[in-house]
Amino acid sequence: MKAVKRTENLNSRPVRPICVGKSAVLTKNGTLYRTFPVIALHQCTSDYIHFETQDAHYHLSFSPYPFATAAMQAPLPLAA
């Protein structure tokens, strides 16, 4: 059975460019965080990045209230 990866929704910024094969280094409130090596970069815009490591999906938003509107929307049905 395939393990389910956790999802991290963060209002954070990368310290360096996020590259497949390298650990992501993030800063939040003055603290540095380092992830497992990135295995996929799913989406990248000027205010949002979605990438995947071996144990988690990371959703980084650079706007002040990134997930407030997403929390008010109905969830999408899960694929089988």
pLDDT tens sequence across 31-44: 899 999 999 999 99
The pTM (predicted TM-score) of the whole model is: 0.74
Q: Could you tell me which of 11, 22, 20 has the C-alpha nearest to residue 62?
A: 11
Residue with the larger pLDDT of the pair 33 and 28: 33
26 vs 54: CA distance, rounded Å: 17
User: In this structure, which amino acid lies at residue 14?
Assistant: P
79 inside domain: no
First to last CA, the chain: 14
- At residue 56, the pLDDT reads 95
Structural domain boundaries, residue 40: 6-66
28 inside domain: yes
57 inside domain: yes
7 vs 55: CA distance, rounded Å: 9
29 vs 77: CA distance, rounded Å: 34
55 inside domain: yes
78 inside domain: no
75 inside domain: no
**11 has pLDDT over 70:** yes
Look at the chain and report how many structural domains it folds into.
1
- At residue 64, the pLDDT reads 63
